Amino acid sequence: MLSSYSPKVEEYVKAGTLTAIEATSDTIGPGAYGAPFGARFPALREQVESRSETIIVIGNKAKILQAPKLYLPDPKNLHMGWETKDRLEYIKKKGMDPKTTLLFNSHYHWRNAYQLVIPPHYLIKSDLYPKEEYGTNSLGLRVVQVPTQDIPKQLGQLEASGLPACEWDTLGVRDWPADVKLSTAEGREKVLRDGWLRSNIW
């Protein structure tokens, strides 16, 4: 699930896929950021609800399974997030290429709100940010618009919404935390309760 602000969303929709737009918040590296399912994250709720539509990103599962994937642990400094040098060194020590590795983690500030960054290697050139590094859509990514009103904003609404959820725990992500189960309704609800939709987000 990915939502962003216009005209970024407009570019995604026009391209039919994700482009190498500069990230609004670069916490684990450059690229396109996403959440495993649609939820009106309190910190962004006002901006999300100001739009009539948001987008869901769908990829080719076979190609995603083949791509290198790594879960990043908490950074040394929870208040600052991962330093670029430390992040690159960590990925390389795992024997993986930072340019092609899909990164997952629990947001350093919004604890238990899990996120993914798709590096520029898999994103096509952006018209808005033509100087940003880009690659090709080798993961078969495509975007689908959905009405913002369909995005759950309260606990217990995700399953009833009928919107797809990304079962990241089944994708073979290296070092994925065993207790985080996005492939079950109970696991998704726990992540929403403890992360994206928790009451003490601030």
Residue pLDDT, tens place only, 74-121: 887 777 778 999 999 999 999 999 999 999 999 877 778 899 999 999
| pLDDT digit string, tens, across residues 107-161 | 877 778 899 999 999 999 999 999 999 999 999 999 988 777 777 777 778 888 8
Please, where are the H alpha helices in 16-100? 45-49, 61-66, 84-93
The whole-angstrom separation of Cα 40 and Cα 44 is: 7
Prediction pTM value: 0.88
The whole-angstrom separation of Cα 95 and Cα 180 is: 24
The whole-angstrom separation of Cα 28 and Cα 82 is: 6
